Amino acid sequence: MWRHDIEGSIAHAAALEAAGLISKEEREQIVNGLREIGAEIEAGRFEFKTKLEDIHMNIEAELTRRIGDAGAKLHTARSRNDQVALDLRLYLRAECDVLKSRLLELQAALVDLADRNRDVIIPGYTHLQRAQPVYFAHHLLAYVEMLERDLGRIADARKRLNVLPLGSGAIAGSTIPLDREMIAKLLEFSSITQNSMDAVSDRDFAVELVSALALIAVHLSRLSEDVILWCSSEFAFVTLSDAYTTGSSLMPQKKNPDAAELTRGKAGRVIGDLMSLLTTLKGLPLTYNRDMQEDKEPVFDAVDTVKAALEVFAGMFREAGINAATCASAVADPMLLATDLADYLVRRGVPFRKAHELVGRAVALCTERNCSLPEIPLEAYQEISPEYAADLYETFDLRKAMSARKAIGAPSPENVTAQLKRWQLHLSGTR
């Protein structure tokens, strides 16, 4: 958090000058000294001292060593309690912006892959059993919808963490009041905390963001599972580039979807970060307690893990290939249109429950005769029910079946095309 500690200290120095507690020259010394230290940390030349315990004391002690008394005045009317609360908010606010960018990049990669394969149809699954046909693009756009909700949660978390705690002191403010509105403006905070005790002990904003990150990780884990299945020999719908897969140390024919598997595994890690943070906070009395040092590790880990996963997934989908012929073979299964056959009977006046039963009898006949639904002769259908007519076989025209799915949110080709255009327009306006 060194960048944010320096950023906060520069704003605090401006408030000290405005209050007449330091001179203009002293403020300039402080600012120049902090920027020099920042440049050294950035370049990897700064020597951290473990005896100084944390980032705040390392920076302040080195500043004082370099510029003398002006550096020693910097901590006036400030505690490490409100200082770390400020730094954490500044850090998370900046990370929210990075997370937004990476979520948008993944959305764009999914939309692009969907657009390039908009005519590919695959079996949709419930209970991992073939259910009904869907456009591959429709399946990918389901994850785009999830990521859009994730973006909303990140934006909401950013709004609630964008509140200035500096000026709250250790617990009860200071007898040396500073212009907190001025500091908030300098640091671009939208509001100021109104209770000093809450300000230094609040970590709700961190919990909220890590909770959003945990849900992103869950979404990525679900997407990982689909990718892993699609890449298997049994499915073979998708091929990943070598950059996102590895071979086996023993079996030369293997191409393992490591990026997806690692991301699926890391979801548990991020969920664990959330549980760790909640457990740390659950028994703490007001206000600051040393236990709260344990908030950093899960917060940093959750942010870093999700950022990395989003970046990797965007690249993985940019380079993914779809095996259209394999998808076409899988979706040629007429059983995927069994529900469409029930709908056919409904349109002929049969109550749905009865239609469901009649199609079930036809499916049982397929099992008995080892054939598919289109291979059952009309006479056999009509023995099941006179409601079956010669036009029932039109039900098994896959393209017609897809075109009939016109309800809002359903995967007709027109709807999928419209949704792709909607997302392309939306994403072009967010960059």
368's tokens: 């008995």
Reported as a single tens digit per residue, the pLDDT across 129-155 is 999 999 999 999 999 999 999 999 999
427's tokens: 């994403």
Span 159-180, average pLDDT = 96
Q: What is the 3-state secondary structure (H, E, C) of 130-194?
A: EEEEEEHHHHHHHHHHHHHHHHHHHHHHHHHHCEECCCCCCCCCCCCCCCHHHHHHHCCCCEECC
Residue 252: pLDDT over 70: no
Check residue 319 and give its pLDDT: 96
Reported as a single tens digit per residue, the pLDDT across 380-421 is 999 999 999 999 999 999 999 999 999 999 999 999 999 999
Q: Report yes or no: 340 and 283 within 8 Å, Cβ to Cβ.
A: no
Spans of all domains in the chain: 2-76, 81-329, 334-428
Confidence of residue 348 (pLDDT cuts 50, 70, 90): very high
- CATH among 1.20.140.10, 1.10.275.10, 3.40.50.170, 3.30.70.2860 for 2-76: 1.10.275.10
* Percent over 70 (pLDDT), the chain: 98
Q: Give catalytic status of residue 127 as yes or no.
A: yes
Q: Distance between CA 271 and CA 301 in Å, rounded?
A: 11
Which one, of 416, 318, 319, 322, lies nearest residue 109 by Cα? 318
Give residue 416's identity as a one-letter amino acid code.
V
Check residue 250 and give its pLDDT: 66
Check residue 153 and give its pLDDT: 98
To the nearest 10°, the Cα dihedral for 201, 205, 207, 208? 150
Check residue 430 and give its pLDDT: 73
Q: H-type helices in 187-295, by residue range?
A: 196-201, 204-231, 258-281
CATH number of 334-428: 1.10.40.30
Q: Topology of 81-329 in CATH?
A: Fumarase C; Chain A, domain 2 (1.20.200)
DSSP state of 17: H
Check residue 108 and give its pLDDT: 98
Q: Model's pTM, two decimal places? A: 0.94
Check residue 248 and give its pLDDT: 66
- With a CB cutoff of 8 Å and minimum separation 6, the contacts of 63 are 30, 33, 34, 37, 71, 74
104's tokens: 């948008």
Q: What angle in degrees, to the nearest 10, is found between the helix axes of 2-18 and 24-43?
A: 180
Q: How far is CA 411 from CA 40, 111, 124, 143, 403, in A?
A: 56, 15, 11, 14, 8
Check residue 249 and give its pLDDT: 64
Indicate which residue of 127, 233, 249, 428 is catalytic: 127
Q: Give catalytic status of residue 138 as yes or no.
A: no
Reported as a single tens digit per residue, the pLDDT across 190-211 is 999 999 999 999 999 999 999 9
Indicate which residue of 190, 191, 232, 248 is catalytic: 248
Please identify which residue in the block is written with the tokens 């595994």. Answer: 265
Span 37-59, average pLDDT = 95
Span 48-64, average pLDDT = 94
